[in-house]
């Protein structure tokens, strides 16, 4: 099993990366929380990896922090939540927001994740309430990237939200509204979270 990868970041997009390790390219699926903090392409990167083996495929899921991976693995213990849905949860909610929602039975927050309905939110809260404290409210060491130009910001946010299952046309309008309210500039992570709140209404 692959537990970690360190190599050259060959390419990246909001749903995944390709890491070149001595000439071998590994296709790794990632949450948005990891994407926000990746270096530029051709720079060195190190990800902790979960290797998911199915009958028809072997998938690699990568995380910049052990805390993200721990949350991902906890989510996989919930009946009905597979790796892609677990990745969607971590992409939509910060680990602290996820922990708070579970501990406080805040089903509305949990149900704001694409693919999680009210029943799944209730099951998630019930199954993880006694386990989530292991990762609750700990600070990740890495910091978010600096602000980016508006065009690139818009494109990255659009790509990320479409990757989560929203329609591009709906997303564009919401992103424009959010950016207009913030004078066109804000961190990518904040923009996506603000857009998710609007889309959930």
What Rg, from alpha-carbon coordinates, does the chain have?
17
pTM greater than 0.75 (yes/no): no
**pLDDT in the model for residue 137:** 52
51-55, 62-66, 188-192: which range is least confident on average? 188-192
pLDDT digits (tens, 9 = 90+) for 91-147: 988 888 898 888 888 888 898 888 888 888 888 888 998 888 776 654 443 333 443
| pLDDT above 50 (res 73) | yes
**CATH class (in words) of the domain with range 4-63:** mainly beta
DSSP state of 113: S
1 close to 10: Cβ distance less than 8 angstroms: no
**How buried is 137 (Cβ within 10 angstroms: 0-12 exposed, 13-18 middle, 19+ buried)?**
exposed
Q: Which residue has the tokens 């889309």?
A: 199
- Of residues 155 and 135, more confidence is placed in 155
**Furthest CA-CA distance within the chain:** 49
| pLDDT above 70 (res 78) | yes
Q: Give the dihedral sign, CA 1/41/154/98.
A: positive
Strand-strand pairing, 24-29 and 58-63: parallel
Within the chain, how many helices (H) and strands (E) appear?
9, 5
**CATH architecture for segment(s) 150-199:** Orthogonal Bundle (1.10)
Structure tokens at 5: 């990868």
List the chain domain ranges: 4-63, 66-134, 150-199
**CATH class (in words) of the domain with range 66-134:** mainly alpha
Residue 42 has, within 13 A of its CA and on its CB side, a CA count of 0
Q: 13: Cβ–Cβ under 8 A, 6 or more apart, which residues?
A: 35, 159, 163
39-48, 72-81, 140-149, 172-181: which range is least confident on average? 140-149
């Amino acid at each position: 099993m692959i537990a970690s990868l360190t190599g050259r970041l060959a390419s990246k997009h909001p749903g995944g990366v390709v890491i070149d390790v001595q000439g071998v390219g590994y296709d790794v699926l990632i949450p948005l929380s990891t994407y926000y903090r990746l270096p530029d392409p051709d720079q060195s990167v190190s990800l902790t990896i979960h290797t998911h083996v199915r009958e028809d495929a072997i998938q690699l899921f990568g995380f910049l922090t052990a805390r993200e991976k721990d949350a991902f693995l906890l989510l996989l213990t919930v009946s009905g939540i597979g790796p892609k849905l677990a990745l969607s949860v971590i992409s939509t909610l910060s680990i602290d927001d996820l922990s708070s929602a579970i501990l406080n039975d805040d089903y509305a927050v949990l149900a704001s994740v694409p693919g999680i309905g009210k029943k799944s939110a209730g099951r998630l809260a019930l199954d993880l309430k006694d386990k989530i404290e292991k990762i609750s409210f700990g600070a990740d060491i890495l910091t978010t990237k600096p602000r980016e130009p508006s065009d690139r910001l818009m494109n990255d946010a659009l790509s990320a939200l479409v990757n989560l299952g929203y329609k591009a046309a709906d997303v564009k309008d919401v992103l424009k509204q959010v950016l207009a309210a913030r004078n066109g500039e804000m961190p990518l992570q904040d923009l996506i979270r603000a857009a998710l709140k609007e889309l959930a209404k």
